[in-house]
């Protein structure tokens, strides 16, 4: 009878890196014991694979380990028949994770062996034994975690720095934080400039313009970090860390530290007051809601995100292009920062106007005008009862802003559902999206504030073209640019001279050729 060969993979793990630098460490000991066991099963056709699956310095509390992921990939590739470990807790200490691993093993016909614990996973009793062992392994891990957390809490209360990445301005000597005299002026400068500039965003921009980068350092896993521009999160962490006034924070409590502070108390207090003021503005912004959050994009598909600024105690809300936030180039001529209240009011009015004409209601809901006239009449009679903000939040799929037009896409099915609930209507089901546009103009007030106004389709009495004023203005621009283009200038040259986008110029030139 031909012997069935079993390809065996040995998996080893150690929770910490301590001792791994030795010539013969615990991973080697685990592997040697497993290889001896595999050799004893040679008569059964067992053979050890040469690949190493060693996770040194990784916890057994999760499965996000490089060697374990490599092991699972090889199992799925059909390279492994049997997984061999020294003890079951080397594979995992979590019952939930083990159930996932067993499911994968069963799916690909892989058996699992722990050489110091005898059981057979193919029987119900073997699985019960395995679960009992894992329960104890998980219990042991949780008890160890509780001990560590209790020790950390006791140490923090005594003001002891327990390690981690050293804060900027400090170095660690004999497990104690010692101020670095050459970095203290930099930390003080960050606090002073934050107070002067008023927000972290401006501080980020100033540091990037000055090419200021974070200090480099090497982790315990020998990976180099730092040397990059300061992010907003990193600066928030520095500005709110009480370690700079000689204190230690732990779980919302602040304790006197054993180290020396490097920031004067009055400077710290002013910075915290500014942070608190900005947080209050952000909280106000959240309460006022970002009505168009996640829905507003430019014509190139870039998202506008809700932001705010605080001036003289008043909060101003905006929708800001991710191009601006990520320091990327933005389409010329298109606003990168939109005043939130005005763009929201424009969308509100545009949506409300869709419920004025009965034909429009039928069109946007995707229903037949005659057949559903009673429902349409009911909507017209109770249009003031419709919560426009709820309609925007729940039914608008996308709003695209271009140079002078908003394109709004509504999910008709969701709008139908909303009207059923609010007006107690019986409307037929639909499964379409409806897209429409509205024109707008952007201008600046005398004090420089951006204003956005919708363009009503009322015709100017003095307009000889019998067209809306904004169409005539665009036509005049298109004719002028058309003359430049046919005169030999490229679209890029015209765009550069006019400080706008070449695609906008091309569109108006094309429209000037077709307008009647």
Taking every pair of Cα atoms in the chain, the longest distance, rounded to a whole number of angstroms, is 103
Q: How does pLDDT run across 381-439, given as a tens digit for each residue?
A: 888 888 888 889 889 999 999 888 899 999 888 888 888 877 877 777 777 788 888 88
The answer to whether residues 376 and 363 touch, using CB atoms and an 8 Å cutoff, is no
Look at 34-48, 294-308, 326-340, 384-398 and tell me which has the smallest mean pLDDT: 326-340
Residues 144-155, mean pLDDT to the nearest whole number: 76
What pLDDT, on the 0 to 100 scale, is given for residue 295? 92
Indicate the length of the chain as a whole number.
516
To the nearest whole number, what is the mean pLDDT of the chain?
A: 81
CA 330: distance to chain centroid? 21
Nearest to 346 by CA among 309, 289, 392: 392
What pLDDT, on the 0 to 100 scale, is given for residue 399? 93
DSSP state of 476: H
What pLDDT, on the 0 to 100 scale, is given for residue 4? 61
Give the separation between CA 343 and CA 19, rounded to whole angstroms: 62
What pLDDT, on the 0 to 100 scale, is given for residue 296? 93
pLDDT-above-70 percentage for the chain: 85
CA-based torsion, 437, 439, 444, 446: positive or negative = negative
Give the separation between CA 480 and CA 483, rounded to whole angstroms: 5
**DSSP-based three-state secondary structure for 38:** helix
Instruction: Look at 515 and 215; give whichever has higher pLDDT.
Output: 215
Res. 178 pLDDT band, cuts 50 70 90: confident
């Amino acid at each position: 009878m031909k012997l069935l060969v079993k390809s065996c993979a040995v998996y080893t793990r150690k929770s910490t890196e301590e001792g791994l630098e030795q010539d013969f460490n615990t991973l080697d000991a685990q592997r040697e014991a497993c290889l001896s066991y595999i050799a004893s099963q040679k008569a059964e056709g067992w053979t050890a694979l040469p690949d190493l699956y060693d996770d040194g310095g990784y916890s057994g509390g999760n499965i996000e380990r490089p060697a374990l992921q490599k092991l699972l990939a090889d199992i799925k590739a059909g390279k492994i028949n049997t997984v061999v470990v020294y003890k079951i807790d080397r594979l995992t200490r979590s019952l939930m994770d083990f159930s996932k691993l067993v499911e994968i093993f069963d799916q690909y016909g892989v058996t699992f062996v722990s050489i110091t614990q005898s059981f057979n996973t193919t029987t119900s009793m073997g699985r019960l034994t395995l679960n009992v062992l894992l329960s104890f392994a998980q219990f042991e891990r949780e008890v160890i975690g509780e001990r560590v957390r209790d020790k950390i809490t006791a140490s923090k209360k005594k003001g002891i720095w327990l390690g981690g990445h050293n804060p900027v301005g400090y170095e660690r000597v004999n497990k104690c934080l010692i101020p670095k005299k050459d970095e203290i002026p930099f930390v003080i400068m960050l606090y002073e400039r934050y107070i002067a500039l008023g927000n972290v965003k401006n501080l980020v921009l100033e540091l990037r313009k000055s090419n200021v980068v974070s200090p480099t350092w090497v982790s315990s896993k020998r990976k180099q970090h730092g040397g990059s521009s300061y992010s907003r999160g990193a600066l928030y962490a520095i500005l709110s860390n009480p370690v700079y006034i000689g204190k230690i924070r732990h779980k919302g409590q602040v304790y006197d530290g054993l180290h020396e502070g490097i920031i004067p108390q009055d400077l710290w207090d002013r910075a915290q007051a500014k942070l608190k003021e900005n947080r209050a503005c952000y909280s106000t912004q959240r309460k006022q809601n970002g009505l168009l959050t996640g829905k507003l994009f430019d014509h190139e598909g870039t998202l506008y995100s809700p932001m705010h600024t605080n001036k003289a105690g008043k909060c101003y809300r905006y929708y800001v292009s991710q191009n601006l936030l990520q320091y990327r180039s933005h389409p010329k001529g298109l606003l990168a920062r939109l005043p939130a209240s005005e763009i929201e009011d424009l969308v509100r009015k545009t949506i409300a106007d869709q419920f004025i004409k009965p034909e429009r209601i039928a069109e946007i809901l995707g229903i037949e005008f005659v057949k559903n006239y009673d429902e349409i009449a009911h909507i017209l009679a109770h249009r003031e009862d419709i919560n426009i903000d709820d309609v925007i939040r729940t039914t608008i799929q996308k709003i695209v802003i271009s140079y002078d037009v908003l394109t709004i896409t509504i999910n008709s099915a969701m709008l139908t559902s909303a009207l059923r609930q609010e007006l107690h209507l019986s409307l037929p089901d639909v499964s379409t999206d409806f897209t429409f546009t509205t024109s707008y103009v952007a201008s600046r007030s005398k004090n420089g504030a951006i204003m956005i106004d919708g363009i009503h389709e009322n015709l100017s009495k003095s307009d000889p073209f019998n067209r809306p004023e904004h169409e005539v203005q665009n036509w005049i621009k298109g004719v002028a640019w058309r003359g430049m283009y046919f005169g030999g200038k490229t679209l890029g040259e015209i765009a550069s001279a006019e400080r706008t986008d070449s695609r906008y110029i091309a569109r108006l030139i094309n429209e000037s050729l077709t307008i009647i």
